[in-house]
Amino acid sequence: MTIYDIAKEAGVSITTVSRVINQKPGIKQETRERVQAVLEKHNYLPNPSAKGLADRNSHMIALVVSDIRDIHYSGTVYMVEQELSKRGYHCLLVNTGDEPEQRSEALRSVMYKQVEGVVMVGSTFQEKYIQKAITRFLPSAPVVMANAYLPLPNVYGILCDGRKGIEQAVDYLAANGHERIAFVGGTHNASAREKRQGYLDGMGKNGLDRWTEVRDCKNEVWDGERSTLALMKEKPEVTAIIYEGDLIAVGGIHALRQLELGVPEAVSMIGFDNSIYAQISVPGLTSIDDKLGVMGIKCAQTLCDVLEGNGTVAQMMLIPELVERESVRRIRD
């Protein structure tokens, strides 16, 4: 399907089709919609982009992230960019925002950039509408996902086993005598849901599932504080809390300070990410290291392997590790 075929089927000139593709003004809305419908019908990829993908000579990689301001994502993006740079590639950063329409449009825009491949950072992209957008806009470009995966022939996933990581946190607390262990976290993406299941798995494994407590929480300091305040007022018997992320764990520390409860004297805490927040909090926060640095490097290496025709696996799972600091105390031998 060429631009000439598109123009013929839409009943317009080649120039009009070009103006629609490049989002130029001066075209009636009715005409624009008619041309766009034909483009979408045939999954039309403009020739310059198709050539860039076929020849694989642009040396440009799109790094797609929902919000680069998120320290969790920015660290991974940095490692991906550094590794790709060593291998002679240039990176184009794309911030998609959080809305499905924004994200689909962002992937559509990537289609026109003559990129050789795409790296998508975050489990937040593990959604059906993203799968549909990749199929439609990037059907032949290799796409590597950091901490996510979609079942498509051109998609590869480098994941951290967050479920196993949270299970490790439960094991560690149980070994230190804790039985009333709560979990604070959301269900806003695939990773968050896996972590919640890891908590339930760990409690069952250690014979503690007769007492479980899960609190919903957004990935914000203020909501970590809110959720922890409500938890401790309603369940004062809690001796330890596991948080989905370090950021909300910091909010939990603030909450306990308000209640004049010490960490770990009254309540022990474990976060997830082993981020700078865990390192600078007072007390230092014991946290699950999700291997973000390794993940970024593996994403870049996997993409390069695909582009260079080397064999690679569709999915790779990284095993997290618990990093001890000062936020957990032993309450009995």
Least reliable range by pLDDT among 25-39, 213-227, 228-242: 25-39
| H/E segment holding residue 85 | helix 71-86
Count CB neighbours of 243 within 10 A.
33
Tell me: pLDDT of 47 over 70. Answer: no
Q: Tokens 């123009």: give the residue.
A: 7
pLDDT for 309: 87
Q: For residue 219, how far is the Cα from the chain centroid?
A: 13
Tally the C-alpha atoms within 13 A of residue 149's C-alpha that lie toward its C-beta.
14
pLDDT for 310: 87
Tens digit of each residue's pLDDT (9 = 90 or more) over 286-301: 999 999 889 999 999 9
Q: Which residues of 155-185 are buried (b: 16+ CB within 10 A; e: fewer)?
A: bbbbbbbbbbbbbbbbebbbebebbbbbbbb
- DSSP state letters, 86-142: HTT-EEEEEE--SSHHHHHHHHHHHHTTT-SEEEEESGGG-SHHHHHHHHHH-SSS-
Residues 109, 114, 118, 122, CA torsion sign:
negative
pLDDT for 54: 42
Nearest Cα residue to 192 out of 231, 248, 145? 248
Tens digit of each residue's pLDDT (9 = 90 or more) over 58-96: 789 999 999 999 888 999 999 999 999 998 999 999 999
Tell me: pLDDT of 2 over 80. Answer: no
* Mean pLDDT across the chain: 91
Least reliable range by pLDDT among 8-12, 118-122, 248-252, 280-284: 8-12
- pTM for the model stands at 0.81
Residues 134, 135, 139, 143, CA torsion sign:
positive
pLDDT for 57: 61
Tell me: pLDDT of 311 over 90. Answer: no
pLDDT for 170: 98
What domains appear along the chain, each with residue ranges and CATH number? 3-41 (1.10.260.40), 53-160+293-318 (3.40.50.2300), 162-290 (3.40.50.2300)
